[in-house]
Structure 1
Amino acid sequence: MSEIHKIHQQLMNKEITCTKLVQDRLGLLKQNTHNTVNSLLDETALALAKKVDAKIESGEEIGLLEGIPFGIKDVYMVQGTYTTASSDLLKKYKSAYTATAIQKLLDAGAIPLVKENCDSFGHGSSSENTIFGAVKNAVNPSLVGGGSSGGSAVNVAKGFTVFSIGGDTGGSIRQPAGYNNVFGFKPTYGRISRFGLMAYASSTDCVGPIAKSTEDIRIVLNAMSGKDVKDQTTYQSSSISKESVLNTDAIKTVGYFKNFINNDAISAEIKADFLASIEKIKAKGIEVKELDFFESDTLVSTYYTLAMAETASNLSRLDGTNYGNRIEGDNLKDTYSITRSENFSEESKRRIVGGNQVLSQGFSDEIYLKGLNLRDQIAANFEKDFKEVDIILSPVTPNLPPKIGDSLKDPLAMYLSDAYTVGFSLGQLPTLTIPKGTATGLQISAAKNNDELVLQFANFLNDLI
């Protein structure tokens, strides 16, 4: 059931006012005990709601997204708001401009309520690496909310926002969506502009929506998509219609990676549930094929080699000179050193040091170039697979969400929790988490630019499971 359509009808029929809708959601965000809020945009939100009410009062038509309250992961620039990336370095930083994807939603009339808690600079899979306190899971507050877009997923799951905009580099939308039983979509790389999203790893960073239905995902995806002169990796994509995603006859074959399932790392419960879902798909007359893929350890090490290298490069600009919380030392070099040492989280420092290591002389040929070569092999493997199957299905995570505190003690375990998401990031493929099939959901992937097919299969699975 689409919440966007429902609220749109209520506003048009004058069953609710936009001001009351926004006030209610702001009230829930203020009271919430899940640590999802970095800052509230209450003044802006209420001013925008007033305008929507005035339009409705005067009998004007309003767009589908007009007046719909949403949340924004705190790594997106929104002019005049604090954009902290949940870090000490940027905790007082105010954006001078607005990210393209967010601007498109504002142009469509959607109302931003909140900048949402996340792992600092997107570094983490649990939303514990943050100066605002760990995000608590929507279902069980003693567990992590997932990451890095944990606050965004929890806000949607709890009904604090109608949808939220997360960021996905190696699974940061899909994994928290799975942990909190909501839908999360990483579109094809380049479908949505990255301009105004703080860069983590530029070759896999994607902007995407988290919502409670595939229809809401489709609406928000269409609003944000398109070519942007400020991001050279973007391309023009056609709009996905409501009718087309309800046509599920196009999918004849589904594949899954057998080494994801026949693996010591996967919990018995998730494995059994995944295989049961596969049987249900077979029973509907769809051909299911077992596929060969890279070992999950190879995927994780390839992804983190490249992501750490890119983040070390991207974050080198944060030295307290142009922006950020500067801490003075005895000289300029000392100032840089203290500013970065004191203001970056342990996890960010781990990734910057690791990234500089793999890019350094003597190591770059040995490690970084090998990583680039493996990424090409992974992309080629996907191209081969999608000649045989329409869709690849996989678990979102090998295990259930950990308790808060556990991931901080074991960073390697946290990296390995991304085993099933990072491959699709390296392949730059459209991939959706659907909260069905296993305790942390199922992941649906298609070939590049086949975002529509992913949503079609999601609708098919929604009815089936």
Structure 2
Amino acid sequence: MESQIQHIHKQLLDKKISCVDLVQEKLSLLKENTHNTVNSLLTDLALERAALVDAKIANGETIGLLEGIPFGIKDVYMLQGTYTTASSDLLKNYKSAYTATAIQKLLDAGAIPIVKENCDSFGHGSSSENTIFGAVKNAVNPELVGGGSSGGSAVNVAKDYTIFSIGGDTGGSVRQPAGYNNVYGLKPTYGRISRYGLMAYASSTDCVGPLAKSVEDIRIVLNTMSGKDTKDQTTYTSKTIEEDSILNASNIKTVGYFKNFIESEAIDAQIKADFLATIEKIKAKGIEVKELDFFKSDILVSTYYTLAMAETASNLSRLDGTNYGDRIEDKNLKESYAITRSEKFSEETKRRIVGGNQVLSQGFSDEIYLKGLALRDAISENFEKDFEEVDIILSPVTPSRPPKIGDSLKDPLAMYLSDAYTVGFSLGHLPTLTIPQGTETGLQLTAAKNNDELVLKFANFLKDMI
């Protein structure tokens, strides 16, 4: 199977390239890039680890598959001793005291972190414009947004600045930028990968997700990061997905799609036409395709943002300049808290905190928040019924093409609505993979909980078919 990781691994073993040269090349590309993907380069750490890999090879020692492979980290993950800013003014000088479990597993496998990547501040956005480091520019057309919130991670993979990157997906933050930049991006089943060391946005839907240029590289990285973690009680033990197991998709007999997604007035005409053309190609391969009924897009978006804003208001209450981040002193403690949060949070983050506090406030929580929880349960039940009828659900990643830089900031509601096709799968805790095929912004493949292997199988099947 096509795999940059395997190709580089072989080159290192055959001594056709040195790890130090490879890492130095990627660092140079990142330093010179004009897409605003970099928050900080990990030059010393990366070159030190690369030299150790070269020494092992020179001594005839065995190296693992990921050993010496350069990768990027969305700047919301802890990596001990490095700046972890969340692209925010409040944390611009914050250094991690420990390393996130998912990142530690990659380090243990020998992978080399080379960059902390630009993103929407605290993951709040769908365009990677809400950042103190400047808007991330799309890999295909730099006048357009890079998508969000993991925009820097997606662009770095698309431009070959990293071999793979680790993003974070709460309501589509890996899948949407993957679609905007024509790469693969996976939101695994909730709990498959530990969230420990990932700055919390909405804890009930936050997922660690890889971005790469091939299904095989997604599989390799997913296997490495997966597993139960005593520091995250939502994690579980999962089976390793073998390479051979995703080569045969014969057990996928039925594919479904939500007709209201395709019949929506909001969907771009070309994305709709391309999606329906893909459906016909799938039918031509003898796979049954079923139309499914689902919640309307506006219900999905409002349910997701009700819960996500409530959780982010709670999670970010700890950031007041006392224990974390820069503090602005004022006449008393209360005023210091107020001015620090007012001046140091982005407009979008403040919008979400205010909305979340409103949702959770007395007199509103029963009417809004508890209703959101009930709708989330209903959405999950709907998915369970769907997967009694179909093996895979296929959907567009977004209803529209990536906007020009600046447009999303003028219309926050339009930004929220751009998540209409991704948030439902987050609420359902389902494994969902963006593939760079089928429409201009890709396709989403979704399977039932804990069926991550199935989405990789179907992605591999579609790779040569559409």
Same fold (TM over 0.5): yes
Shift of 1:50: 0.2
Shift of 1:446: 0.2
Q: Does 1:261 align with 2:262?
A: yes
AA aligned opposite 1:91: K
Shift of 1:397: 0.2
Shift of 1:305: 0.2
Shift of 1:48: 0.2
The CA distance in 1 between the partners of 2:395 and 2:45, in whole Å, is: 41
The CA distance in 2 between the partners of 1:263 and 1:195, in whole Å, is: 38
Secondary structure at 2:394's aligned position in 1? strand
Secondary structure at 1:464's aligned position in 2? coil
With the length of structure 1 as denominator, give the TM-score of the two structures: 1.00
The CA distance in 2 between the partners of 1:311 and 1:411, in whole Å, is: 17
The CA distance in 1 between the partners of 2:330 and 2:463, in whole Å, is: 58
Q: Residues 59-101 of structure 1: CA distance to partner in whole angstroms, max 9, x if unpaired?
A: 1111000000000000000000000000000000000000000
AA aligned opposite 2:126: S
Which residue pairs with 1:394 in the alignment? 395
Which residue pairs with 1:143 in the alignment? 144
Q: Does 1:421 align with 2:422?
A: yes
Secondary structure at 2:77's aligned position in 1? coil
The CA distance in 2 between the partners of 1:385 and 1:263, in whole Å, is: 20
Q: Residues 186-245 of structure 1: CA distance to partner in whole angstroms, max 9, x if unpaired?
A: 000000000000000000000010000000000000000000000000000010000001
The CA distance in 2 between the partners of 1:38 and 1:50, in whole Å, is: 24
Shift of 1:247: 1.1
The CA distance in 2 between the partners of 1:159 and 1:266, in whole Å, is: 31
Shift of 1:341: 0.1
The CA distance in 2 between the partners of 1:415 and 1:445, in whole Å, is: 21
Which residue pairs with 1:102 in the alignment? 103
Q: Residues 400-453 of structure 1: CA distance to partner in whole angstroms, max 9, x if unpaired?
A: 000000000000000000000000000000000000000000000000000000
Which residue pairs with 1:286 in the alignment? 287
The CA distance in 2 between the partners of 1:238 and 1:388, in whole Å, is: 25
**What is the number of residues matched between the two proteins?**
465
Secondary structure at 2:257's aligned position in 1? strand
AA aligned opposite 1:190: G
Q: Does 1:16 align with 2:17?
A: yes
The CA distance in 1 between the partners of 2:209 and 2:239, in whole Å, is: 17
Which residue pairs with 1:332 in the alignment? 333
Secondary structure at 2:73's aligned position in 1? strand
Which residue pairs with 1:226 in the alignment? 227
The CA distance in 1 between the partners of 2:251 and 2:325, in whole Å, is: 50
Q: Does 1:118 align with 2:107?
A: no
Q: Residues 244-286 of structure 1: CA distance to partner in whole angstroms, max 9, x if unpaired?
A: 0111101000000000000100000000000000000000000
List aligned pairs for 1:351-430, cutoff 5 A: 351-430=352-431
The CA distance in 2 between the partners of 1:125 and 1:246, in whole Å, is: 33
The CA distance in 1 between the partners of 2:337 and 2:62, in whole Å, is: 54
The CA distance in 2 between the partners of 1:245 and 1:97, in whole Å, is: 35
Which residue pairs with 1:437 in the alignment? 438
Secondary structure at 2:464's aligned position in 1? helix
Which residue pairs with 2:8 in the alignment? 7
Which residue pairs with 1:194 in the alignment? 195
The CA distance in 1 between the partners of 2:184 and 2:71, in whole Å, is: 15
The CA distance in 2 between the partners of 1:16 and 1:453, in whole Å, is: 35
The CA distance in 2 between the partners of 1:103 and 1:432, in whole Å, is: 23
The CA distance in 1 between the partners of 2:128 and 2:157, in whole Å, is: 15
AA aligned opposite 1:306: L
The CA distance in 2 between the partners of 1:194 and 1:159, in whole Å, is: 26
AA aligned opposite 1:64: L
Secondary structure at 1:113's aligned position in 2? strand
List aligned pairs for 1:157-236, cutoff 5 A: 157-236=158-237
AA aligned opposite 1:419: A
Runs (4+) off by over 4 Å:
none
The CA distance in 2 between the partners of 1:237 and 1:211, in whole Å, is: 21
The CA distance in 1 between the partners of 2:365 and 2:39, in whole Å, is: 37
AA aligned opposite 1:338: I
The CA distance in 2 between the partners of 1:250 and 1:388, in whole Å, is: 14
Unaligned runs of 5+ in 1: none
The CA distance in 2 between the partners of 1:89 and 1:405, in whole Å, is: 23
AA aligned opposite 2:269: A
Q: Does 1:87 align with 2:105?
A: no
Q: Residues 107-153 of structure 1: CA distance to partner in whole angstroms, max 9, x if unpaired?
A: 00000000000000000000000000000000000000000000000
AA aligned opposite 1:98: T
Which residue pairs with 2:79 in the alignment? 78
The CA distance in 1 between the partners of 2:18 and 2:464, in whole Å, is: 33
With the length of structure 2 as denominator, give the TM-score of the two structures: 1.00
Shift of 1:463: 1.5
AA aligned opposite 1:331: N
Q: Does 1:448 align with 2:430?
A: no
The CA distance in 1 between the partners of 2:401 and 2:440, in whole Å, is: 7
Taking only aligned residues, the RMSD between alpha carbons, in angstroms, comes to 0.3
AA aligned opposite 2:444: Q
Q: Residues 23-77 of structure 1: CA distance to partner in whole angstroms, max 9, x if unpaired?
A: 0000000000000000000000000000000000001111000000000000000
